Structure 1
Amino acid sequence: MSFSKEQRQAVYDTIFARRDVRGEFLPDPIPDAVLSRLLLAAHHAPSVGFMQPWNFLIIRQPTVKQQVHQAFQKANDEAAQQFSGEQADRYRRLKLEGILEAPINLCMTCDRDRCGPVVLGRTHMPEMDLYSTVCAVQNLWLAARAEGVGVGWVSILDPAALKSILRITTANIVPVAYLCMGYVSHFHGEPELASKGWRQRLDPASLIYYDQWGQQESPHKLDEALGAQRRLLLL
């Protein structure tokens, strides 16, 4: 099966336009038809041994969101103390979540026992179930961007506190991603942490090695092709 040039470009456009949304959420609800498409996209992610280890916990109740927000504030205060000087001041000025503003919060979990103790493809890398769940997160995130729905990943949370709030009592269920979701007033043209001077995107050519770790010399270097494709795809 092949895709047209326009269809291929739409995929790249979605990837390059994806943003982590924090402060732009609108109160408009996400229709069930749209939310269903996003969950189906997530459920069609690749998973090792086809174990499909994810679950989707949809949170709409304000009381639950408030508890999660309080857990975030505690974790965020602890995180701020790990930075110093100007960086600490800049950190405290950043808005790093949209828990209360987003119409839907979604916790995506990984059931580490879903297929029993021995899973095809996981025998030597047991963490592959967690990586598979992250693939489901990315599927949902890209599908959401294509639907005009913003997503923000809140990682500044204590996992034990989150499990307690959400009443996840089973040890083998691991919260992987706590996501804020909703329609937005706008998407930023570039990642917010870049526009606010926290970090800039790295040059991809500096991240590529050839045949051996650390080897950047090769007769088949991609520097020129990377530059050309970046100009074409980001037009």
Structure 2
Amino acid sequence: MPKDTTARKLAPQPARQFDAGERQALYDIINARRDVRNEFRPDPIDPAALRRILEAAHAAPSVGFMQPWDFLLIRDPDRRARIHEAFQSANAEAAEMFEPERKAKYSALKLEGILTAPLNICVTCDRTRGGKVVLGRTHNRDMDLYSTVCAVQNLWLAARAEGVGIGWVSIFRPEDLRSLLGIPDHVEIVAYLCAGYIDELFVQPELQARGWRERLPIDSLIHEEEWPGA
């Protein structure tokens, strides 16, 4: 490779500037993102669109550029039926953790689309990727997990831009999913996602629309210099 080409690759280049329309499109996608449970269409996701979505996830930042994520695509109806059974078992346990009034509201919520979505995606974190010592992870071992969550967010936003809804199912016993999907011990399950095209979405997050919880005002969460009252 010529020296001038190598030098260009190693040197910063002028940063692309985005116009007002491009910036607004990003904010629109962020604000239009929803956790989808019951609005999936049954038709499969276009392979080219799915590839773009996964490439967006793979473009996420990662500490030490370790890229610890993997994306396990699950389409088989029998496997998803077993995963759904594992969800139902854990969900019954979760319902018992709430006070009676809250329990009734919880039980009325639709919390997954495992069987209705045409595609399930398990996003994992390989905690051995990059070796024993990873740049930027030397003092906080969980940075690989945080990096994988960034990949999930990229996936979610790219999917919304493609007209694909995503629902994050978190009510599982990790050991159940690990067994059902053959995931080795050194790999952490970070997210189990349901994915499919959608025609309708809630204007607000569904839990807000159904009165489960209100969005906190942003001004109450912004602090200067140190923790309030420190």
Report TM bin, short chain.
Answer: over 0.9
**Aligned with 2:199 (options 165, 185, 189):** 185
Alignment correspondent of 1:15: 30
Alignment correspondent of 1:157: 172
Which stretches of structure 1, 4 residues or more, deviate above 2 A after TM superposition? Answer: none
CA distance in 2, matches of 1:182, 1:97: 12
Percent of residue pairs identical = 60
Aligned residue pairs, count: 215
Deviation at residue 101 of structure 1 after TM alignment = 0.2
* 1:1-235 paired onto structure 2 within 5 Å: 1-168=16-183, 170-214=184-228
CA distance in 1, matches of 2:193, 2:205: 17
CA distance in 2, matches of 1:74, 1:185: 30
Contact 1:209 / 1:215 at 8 angstroms: preserved in 2?
A: no
Alignment correspondent of 2:5: none
> Is the alpha carbon distance of 1:2 and 1:215 closer, same or farther for their aligned partners in structure 2, counting shifts above 3 Å?
farther
CA distance in 1, matches of 2:100, 2:169: 24
Give unpaired runs (5+ residues) of structure 1: 217-235
Deviation at residue 2 of structure 1 after TM alignment = 0.4
TM-score, length basis structure 2:
0.92
Deviation at residue 185 of structure 1 after TM alignment = 2.9
Letter of the 1:18 counterpart: R
Letter of the 2:59 counterpart: H
Q: Deviations over 1:162-182 (max 9, x none)?
A: 0000011x2111110000000
CA distance in 2, matches of 1:94, 1:203: 25
CA distance in 2, matches of 1:103, 1:53: 26
CA distance in 2, matches of 1:20, 1:80: 20
CA distance in 1, matches of 2:50, 2:89: 30
Give unpaired runs (5+ residues) of structure 2: 1-15
Q: Deviations over 1:46-101 (max 9, x none)?
A: 00000000001000000110011000000000000000121110000000000000
CA distance in 1, matches of 2:100, 2:87: 22
Give the secondary-structure state (helix, strand or coil) at the position aligned to 1:182: strand
TM-score, length basis structure 1:
0.90
Deviation at residue 139 of structure 1 after TM alignment = 0.1
Give the secondary-structure state (helix, strand or coil) at the position aligned to 1:153: strand
RMSD over equivalenced CA pairs, Å = 1.0
CA distance in 2, matches of 1:142, 1:185: 16
Deviation at residue 136 of structure 1 after TM alignment = 0.1
